[in-house]
Structure 1
Amino acid sequence: MFTPSSHDVRRFFCEVFRKNAAKEILTPLEAMALDWVLEHPEYADALADVDSALTRDYSVEGGQANPFLHLSMHLSISEQVSIDSPRGIRAAYEALARKLDSPHEAQHEIMECLGEMIWKSQRSGLPPDGEAYIDAIKRRAS
């Protein structure tokens, strides 16, 4: 299993941004990431400067959202939905997107559920609870 560092993630998204601007061919994963980069034009400055991206601190105390974390969560959720893993996420996502009339806003709602699942797992020392994650998304969709 590949576990990228924060620098790897930042380089990846900056490279997607650069390749798109240069009209270069993207890998399938880069193309999926580009969809989310284009949904967030407010991140263009952060993505355009890889050197700054690698040194920038996006601490909670700084009060600015981490664009790389945000884009990574979008990408993770898109991958989960595309392979329906954990099982049931595709249907839950589709129901939430219909309710909100926005796939993008549905992803933002799912991010909150994903963050909560990860936080609970880290706090308890137990593996992430995929069923509870799906249930939380379904509650938001109902």
Structure 2
Amino acid sequence: MFSPSQADVRRFFCAVHAKQQSGEAMEAIEMLAGQWIAEHPEYHAALSDVDAALAQMGTPGDGGQENPFLHLSMHLSISEQCSIDQPPGIRQAVELLTARRGDLHAAHHEVMECLGRMIWESQRSGRPPDGQAYIDQVRRRATQD
């Protein structure tokens, strides 16, 4: 199983951003990451300086800003979950939410809330993540106003 460190994740996203800026060829996962990076121009400055990104590890964001590396990692995680439909049913649930919102990016942000809750609940309880509860939360969002 691939378990990148926090530094590895930061280097990866900074490298993808650099490749986008220079027009370099990218691997499939880099292209996917690049699409999410393009959706978040507010992160481009943070992604432009790998040394600063590494130096800021473990420090809280200024003024409660969200961590761009965590946020982009969640986009990639959700994209991967949907591509392999794991947990089973997540692809359909995200597709339903996307259709309801009319925007994949907006849907992903809602799914992130559900994913974060599932992880938090798992850590709090000491039990494995509850994939069915996660999917149920996404489906509820897709069917409620």
Range of TM-score over shorter length: over 0.9
Map of 1:11 onto structure 2? 11
Tell me if 1:35 matches 2:35: yes
Q: Could you report, residue by residue, the CA deviation over 1:41-94 in whole angstroms, capped at 9, with x for unpaired residues? A: 110100000000101155267511100000000010001011111111111001
Map of 2:127 onto structure 1? 126
How many Å apart are 1:23 and its aligned residue?
1.0
2:4 counterpart SS class? coil
1:45 counterpart SS class? helix
How many residues align? The count is: 142
Tell me if 1:94 matches 2:83: no
Moved more, 60-69 or 101-110: 60-69
2:129 counterpart SS class? coil
Percent identity of the aligned residues?
Answer: 60
* Structure 1 unaligned regions, length at least 5: none
Whether the aligned pair in 2 keeps the contact of 1:14 and 1:50 (CA below 8 Å) is: yes
Whether the aligned pair in 2 keeps the contact of 1:58 and 1:66 (CA below 8 Å) is: no
2:100 corresponds to which letter in structure 1? K
TM-score (norm 1): 0.96
List 4+ stretches of structure 1 deviating above 3 A: none
1:130 corresponds to which letter in structure 2? G
2:140 corresponds to which letter in structure 1? R
1:86 corresponds to which letter in structure 2? P
Q: Could you report, residue by residue, the CA deviation over 1:91-123 in whole angstroms, capped at 9, with x for unpaired residues? A: 100100111111100000000000000000001
* Structure 2 unaligned regions, length at least 5: none
Moved more, 18-27 or 112-121: 18-27
2:111 corresponds to which letter in structure 1? I
Q: Report the aligned-residue RMSD.
A: 1.2
Q: Which whole-Å CA distance do the structure 1 matches of 2:95 and 2:2 have between them? A: 28
Map of 2:108 onto structure 1? 107
Q: Which whole-Å CA distance do the structure 2 matches of 1:120 and 1:60 have between them? A: 23
TM-score (norm 2): 0.94
How many Å apart are 1:20 and its aligned residue?
1.1
1:74 corresponds to which letter in structure 2? H
How many Å apart are 1:21 and its aligned residue?
1.1
